[in-house]
Amino acid sequence: MNRFRGIEDRCLVAEARRGHMAAYNVLMLRWQKRVFIHIVRLVGQREDALDLTQDVFLKAYQNLKKLDDPAKFPGWLFRIAHNEAFSLLRKNRPEGEMTVEPKFAESSGGLFPIECTLAVRSALARLSDDHREAVLLKFDQGFKFEEMAEILSCPVSTVISRLYTALDLLKRTLAPVNTGGRNELRS
């Protein structure tokens, strides 16, 4: 496997397509954490995320020859991850069920790191699945709008709308308006 380290994804994809398992193993090791963290933050359950991560890499391998441009492997992989995660979310949450309307949390000023982490987790959990995924793809994974649109199979304008709405909701929770030296608390 060592000979494949440091090689670009697109070359590894080409090698894996020719049946070199070692090349695919390097791709898995390279991308597993990012795929796992994306899925676990979407579905919220560690064990489910482990199973789905395995399924993502299995499906990616089985469909590797359908990937038109090997250079687009990351976005293509996250497209599969999106499909797997939302399949589970739809199964666990019947259609039409409303997500919880975000409440406005207490001020984030002066929070300790663990409190900060909990506040962010709580705020993310209160977003709709679509809004949360837009935030994760941008801030966790660093995808550009065009890449996100391919992953989510929607127009760039929809990506921007989801991300901006999510940012507004998160901002109201995590960075409330400061009014005269104390942050505004709303309930």
- Site membership for another protein, residue 104 (CB under 8 A): no
- Site membership for another protein, residue 99 (CB under 8 A): no
| Tokens coding 169 | 């909701």
Write out the chain in H/E/C secondary structure: CHHHCCCCHHHHHHHHHCCCHHHHHHHHHHHHHHHHHHHHHHHCCHHHHHHHHHHHHHHHHHCHHHCCCHHHHHHHHHHHHHHHHHHHHHHHCCCCCCCCCCCCCCCCCCCCHHHHHHHHHHHHHCCCHHHHHHHHHHHHCCCCHHHHHHHHCCCHHHHHHHHHHHHHHHHHHHCCCEECCEECCCC
- Site membership for another protein, residue 79 (CB under 8 A): no
Least distance (Å) between residue 94 CB and another protein? 26
Least distance (Å) between residue 37 CB and another protein? 5
Q: Please, which residues bridge with residue 27 across strands? A: none
Which residue in 99, 107, 108, 122 binds another protein (CB under 8 A)?
Answer: 108
Binding mask 27-66 for another protein (x = CB under 8 A): -xx--xx--xx--xx----x--xx--xx--xx--xxxxxx
- Stretch of 72-80, 86-94, 98-106, 166-174 contacting another protein, by CB under 8 A: 166-174
Least distance (Å) between residue 95 CB and another protein? 28
CA distance 73 to 151: 11
- Site membership for another protein, residue 116 (CB under 8 A): yes
Which residue in 2, 6, 19, 187 binds another protein (CB under 8 A)?
Answer: 19
Query: Where along the sequence are the contacts to another protein (CB under 8 A)?
Result: 16-19, 21, 24-25, 28-29, 32-33, 36-37, 40-41, 46, 49-50, 53-54, 57-58, 61-66, 108, 113, 116-117, 119-121, 124, 135, 138-140, 144-145, 163-164, 167, 170-171, 174-175, 177-178
